[in-house]
Amino acid sequence: MSTNEDKLKTLIGHAKEYGYVFPSSEIYDGLSATYDYGPYGVELKNNIRRYWWEAMTKLNGNIVGLDAAIFMHPTTWKASGHVDAFNDPLIDNKDSKKRYRADVLLEEHIAKYADKIEKEVEKGRKKFGEAFDEAQFRATNPNVKRAQERIDAVEGRMKAALEANDLVALRQLILDEEIKCPISGTANWTEVRQFNLMFATELGSVSGESSTIYLRPETAQGIFVNFLNVQKSARMKIPFGIAQTGKAFRNEIVARQFIFRMREFEQMEMQFFVKPGTEMEWYNTWKEKRIAWHKALGLPAENYRFHDHIKLAHYANAACDIEFKFPMGFKELEGIHSRTDFDLGNHEKYSGKKLRYFDTETNESYVPYVVETSIGLDRMFLAVLSAAFQVEQLPNGETRDVLRIPAPLAPVKVAVLPLVKKDGLPEKARAIIDTLKLDHNCQYDDKDSIGKRYRRQDAIGTPYCITVDHETLTTDTVTIRERDSMAQERVAISELPRIVGEKVDLRGLLRKL
């Protein structure tokens, strides 16, 4: 097993044991790629959502919220293009009977060439030392050039095939590149077929074509159809944005890699409405704002990169992803798309209602352009959890499992631990919790040795442990232990709200933006 798979497996085990994520309906052996969030998981998820929501709506006077229904009128999905174009090309290996997305097979194949290039560059760096000129090396090294030519050739053919919807060409490219099924090791592939990712269901008790409705595959359309309701009721002037979080559903061909790709997931989307012609400026602004939101968390900066789309979606004139280094490698975490007037324009067409903005300064009326930022809450959860999880070697030879979750996102902020279960220490500990619990999630624990209790809190990522001992009763002081450094300090109880608040308050993160 590869170390990446090992890492993900360990993380899944930890997430289950410590109440973050459980397999769904586990007593019935689970349901594939469906997960439930446990007591700590739900807190982390809520905190991430709150960080996103407040960064969007509190920090931007021109962004307001919305909570649209999951069900929408079926014509919505005709207008949005999802009925006709929300397809993935699927291909089966006849020997292993495993199903793949044809475009993903090709992208993974391209990534292998890209890996080769990076290895060559590393070799060059070692060989030439100080004198290494990376740009020149990339431009002239024959191995790098050859791999880059292969990437360009495969990407070119793939883009052409996807854009022309040419499934035969897509299959031919897989055959020409001799891509094999990782399970069977053969290239015995079926035809490529299109598969629509929307879940369909029936509305009410009458069956028939007209009552088919879909579970929304993205939250964005609820924003578009409410564009004028929001603009008028909240008296918004362009440029302005509408933010929304909520469940979305996609019948993914291959759902795997834990909570990275699920069939039911949660999105946090913001549609920003701008004057046509200004969209590239806003696209760049939102790229910067979104990466700043991620970086403020303090997870390693090298875990993030931008990736421009090869194939633009049917609605976009520019699009990129923020990719994150998950345990299984760099993968999409968030999409930033310039969606033009595609959605509002089509909703006008299909509904026969005007969805225009009247600019009182120029006396013009137009269909606004849209720049969208779209991030999966579950993927963000996985990003935080995977970067936070560490098995750390301690000086005394022991190890500890620790979740170095950014403190403002941690599920429990403070654990208060009486050294012994008598002499009034438990009562004192509970009194301390009473002074903190309105501001922070606190936990009381008096079971097992203090060392074991520290380990339990490390494993769920609690930033602070406060220990109440006999000295506390006479001096009103406690020991406060910090999760990451494990440093302990004796402080006055009266100081606790300040010390804890400084580090765990969400406002600390928002101030950085």
Tell me if 310 sits within 8 A of 103, measured CB to CB: no
Binding string, residues 79-98; x marks residues near ligand ATP by CB under 6 A: --------------------
Give backbone dihedrals phi and psi of 42, rounded to 5 degrees, phi first. Answer: -65, -35
- Kindly tell me which residue out of 109, 157, 216, 261 binds ligand ATP, with binding defined by CB under 6 A: 261
Kindly state whether residue 338 participates in binding ligand ATP, applying the rule CB under 6 A. no
Closest to 384 (Cα-Cα) out of 62, 70, 15: 15
The stretch among 159-167, 231-239, 372-380, 484-492 that binds ligand ATP (CB under 6 A) is 372-380
The stretch among 68-76, 164-172, 329-337, 431-439 that binds ligand ATP (CB under 6 A) is 329-337
The stretch among 43-51, 357-365, 373-381, 467-475 that binds ligand ATP (CB under 6 A) is 373-381
User: How many binding residues for ligand ATP (CB under 6 A)?
Assistant: 16
Q: Please count the other Cβ atoms lying within 10 Å of the Cβ belonging to residue 229.
A: 11
Q: What does the block give as tokens for 47?
A: 């905190």
CB of 374 to ligand ATP, least distance (A): 4
Q: Please count the other Cβ atoms lying within 10 Å of the Cβ belonging to residue 497.
A: 14
CB of 262 to ligand ATP, least distance (A): 4
CB of 269 to ligand ATP, least distance (A): 7
Task: Tell me how far CA of residue 39 lies from CA of 16, 45, 163, 460, in angstroms.
Answer: 11, 10, 45, 11
CB-nearer residue toward ligand ATP: 104 or 121: 104
CB of 267 to ligand ATP, least distance (A): 5
Kindly state whether residue 107 participates in binding ligand ATP, applying the rule CB under 6 A. no
The stretch among 262-270, 299-307, 438-446, 457-465 that binds ligand ATP (CB under 6 A) is 262-270
How far apart CA 421 and CA 365 sit, in angstroms, is: 72
CB of 332 to ligand ATP, least distance (A): 5
Tell me if 89 sits within 8 A of 311, measured CB to CB: no
Kindly state whether residue 376 participates in binding ligand ATP, applying the rule CB under 6 A. yes
Give backbone dihedrals phi and psi of 76, rounded to 5 degrees, phi first. Answer: -50, -45
| Residue with smallest beta-carbon separation from ligand ATP | 376
Closest to 214 (Cα-Cα) out of 202, 205, 206: 202
CB of 300 to ligand ATP, least distance (A): 19
Is the peptide bond between 239 and the residue preceding it cis, with omega within 30 degrees of 0?
A: yes
CB-nearer residue toward ligand ATP: 150 or 339: 339
Site for ligand ATP in 29-68 (CB under 6 A): none
The stretch among 10-18, 226-234, 294-302, 375-383 that binds ligand ATP (CB under 6 A) is 375-383
How far apart CA 498 and CA 513 sit, in angstroms, is: 22
- Kindly tell me which residue out of 47, 76, 257, 267 binds ligand ATP, with binding defined by CB under 6 A: 267
**Sign of dihedral through CA atoms 448, 450, 453, 459?**
negative
How far apart CA 249 and CA 226 sit, in angstroms, is: 20
Binding string, residues 181-220; x marks residues near ligand ATP by CB under 6 A: -------------------------------------x--
Tell me if 445 sits within 8 A of 453, measured CB to CB: yes
CB-nearer residue toward ligand ATP: 174 or 248: 248
CB-nearer residue toward ligand ATP: 261 or 428: 261
CB-nearer residue toward ligand ATP: 268 or 344: 268
Kindly state whether residue 378 participates in binding ligand ATP, applying the rule CB under 6 A. yes
The contacts of residue 180 (CB under 8 Å, 6+ apart) are 186, 187
The stretch among 162-170, 188-196, 230-238, 328-336 that binds ligand ATP (CB under 6 A) is 328-336
- Kindly tell me which residue out of 47, 245, 257, 374 binds ligand ATP, with binding defined by CB under 6 A: 374
CB-nearer residue toward ligand ATP: 108 or 439: 108
CB of 37 to ligand ATP, least distance (A): 13
Kindly state whether residue 252 participates in binding ligand ATP, applying the rule CB under 6 A. yes
Closest to 44 (Cα-Cα) out of 487, 463, 467, 483: 463
- DSSP string covering 35-87, please? EEE-HHHHHHHHHHHHHHHHHHHTT-TTEEE----SB--THHHHHTTHHHH-E
CB of 334 to ligand ATP, least distance (A): 5
Q: Looking at residue 281, what DSSP letter applies?
A: H
How far apart CA 214 and CA 202 sit, in angstroms, is: 8
Length of the chain: 513
- Kindly tell me which residue out of 154, 336, 375, 459 binds ligand ATP, with binding defined by CB under 6 A: 375
Tell me if 245 sits within 8 A of 266, measured CB to CB: yes
Closest to 446 (Cα-Cα) out of 475, 462, 461, 467: 467
- Kindly tell me which residue out of 158, 170, 215, 262 binds ligand ATP, with binding defined by CB under 6 A: 262
Residue ranges binding ligand ATP (CB under 6 A): 218, 250, 252, 261-262, 265, 267, 332-335, 374-376, 378-379
